[in-house]
Amino acid sequence: MSQDLLVEKQDGVALLTLNRPDDLNALGGNMMTMLLAALHELTLDLDVGCVVLTGAGRGFCAGGDMKSRAAGTRPLEGTPEQMRLNLRSRMHAAQLLHEMPKPTIAMVNGVAAGAGMSLMLACDMRFIGHAARMGTAFARMGFSGDFGGHWFLNRLVGPAKARELYFTAEVIDSTEMERLGLCNYRYADAELHEKTMAFAKKLAAGPRIAWHHMKRNMKVAEEGTLADALDAESFGMMRCRETEDHKEALKAFVEKRPPTFKGR
């Protein structure tokens, strides 16, 4: 069975590892099929409260499998419209990372380029090691870009800087990523896994229904008006008010102890 993607679940956290280390985890083989299937499954998995995406070896994800494309081992088949629809279906992975009703974290241990950069940006948060590097890469290959990178990068660094990074395909290091606000935390490489997973486990132990509505509120705030955001917030607050987690939090507040959330 293909091992292009590894899936581990522990303490409410699902760790997805892109596993083609010899090719810096380029999106070849069965990786995208497996990633899409895993993200669909995890979206509905009530035992998982947080999803972490990372890469095996010394890279996060180098983007498309240019080596196979150049060698002709991945010929394009079908009409242009069929190929567009196939690409669009694979790009849904970025949408799932961004919109699934639970927190997602990119644990970036090395290079994130092209579509790999887009998948990193699609996550709610990014924890990076000192060895992390990022580049749009598309212009170097005569491509325009995919997997939602334009949408995410524009919102994270602003339109002028996003255009610069796309037009120049400049590779930036972890220090510059931190300066631009492209990561939440930057750790020594040896600490990255431990620190990221500890944070993810805290999120997984939190009020999962509240996380669901927070993500929904953020999406509405990104795309809608202030009135839309207020409507979403009022709906989420009333829904959370009826949960066991909220009632437990109230009880814990009175008893002066940490709450124990169950995601209900």
Q: Give, to the nearest 10 degrees, the angle between helix 115-122 and helix 149-157.
A: 60
| Per-residue model confidence as pLDDT tens for the chain (264 residues) | 469 999 999 999 999 999 999 999 998 888 999 999 999 999 999 999 999 999 999 999 998 766 766 666 566 677 888 878 888 888 899 999 999 999 999 999 999 999 999 999 999 999 999 999 999 999 988 888 898 999 999 999 999 999 999 999 999 999 999 999 999 999 999 999 999 999 999 999 999 999 999 999 999 999 999 999 999 999 999 999 999 999 989 888 999 989 999 888
| Full domain range(s) for residue 200 | 5-204
Q: Of the residues 204, 227, 245, which one is the last residue of a structural domain?
A: 204
User: Residue 184 falls within a domain, yes or no?
Assistant: yes
Quick one: 144 and 237 in the same domain? no
Quick one: 192 and 137 in the same domain? yes
User: Residue 263 falls within a domain, yes or no?
Assistant: no
Quick one: 67 and 156 in the same domain? yes
User: Residue 262 falls within a domain, yes or no?
Assistant: no
Half-sphere exposure of 181 (CA within 13 A, CB side): 9
Quick one: 37 and 57 in the same domain? yes
Quick one: 58 and 152 in the same domain? yes
Quick one: 98 and 110 in the same domain? yes
Q: Which amino acid is at 119?
A: L
Quick one: 17 and 65 in the same domain? yes
User: Residue 264 falls within a domain, yes or no?
Assistant: no
d(CA 20, CA 262): 36
User: Residue 250 falls within a domain, yes or no?
Assistant: yes
Helix (H, G, I), strand (E, B) or coil at 13: strand
User: Residue 27 falls within a domain, yes or no?
Assistant: yes
d(CA 12, CA 105): 14
Which CATH number is 94's domain given? 3.90.226.10
Q: What is the largest CA-CA distance in the chain?
A: 66
Quick one: 181 and 60 in the same domain? yes
d(CA 217, CA 241): 16
Q: How far, in Å, are 33, 74, 106, 145, 170 from residue 165 at the CA level?
A: 29, 28, 20, 12, 6
Cβ atoms of 183 and 126 within 8 Å: the answer is yes
Quick one: 21 and 115 in the same domain? yes
User: Residue 261 falls within a domain, yes or no?
Assistant: no
Quick one: 32 and 161 in the same domain? yes
d(CA 245, CA 261): 5
Quick one: 222 and 120 in the same domain? no
User: Residue 183 falls within a domain, yes or no?
Assistant: yes
* Residue in the block written with tokens 């990221």: 196
Q: Of the residues 204, 219, 246, which one is the last residue of a structural domain?
A: 204
How many domains does one find in the chain? 2
Please, what is the Cα angle at 142 between 75 and 64, to 5 degrees? 50
Q: Of the residues 169, 185, 204, which one is the last residue of a structural domain?
A: 204
Quick one: 122 and 174 in the same domain? yes
Q: What is the pTM of this model?
A: 0.91
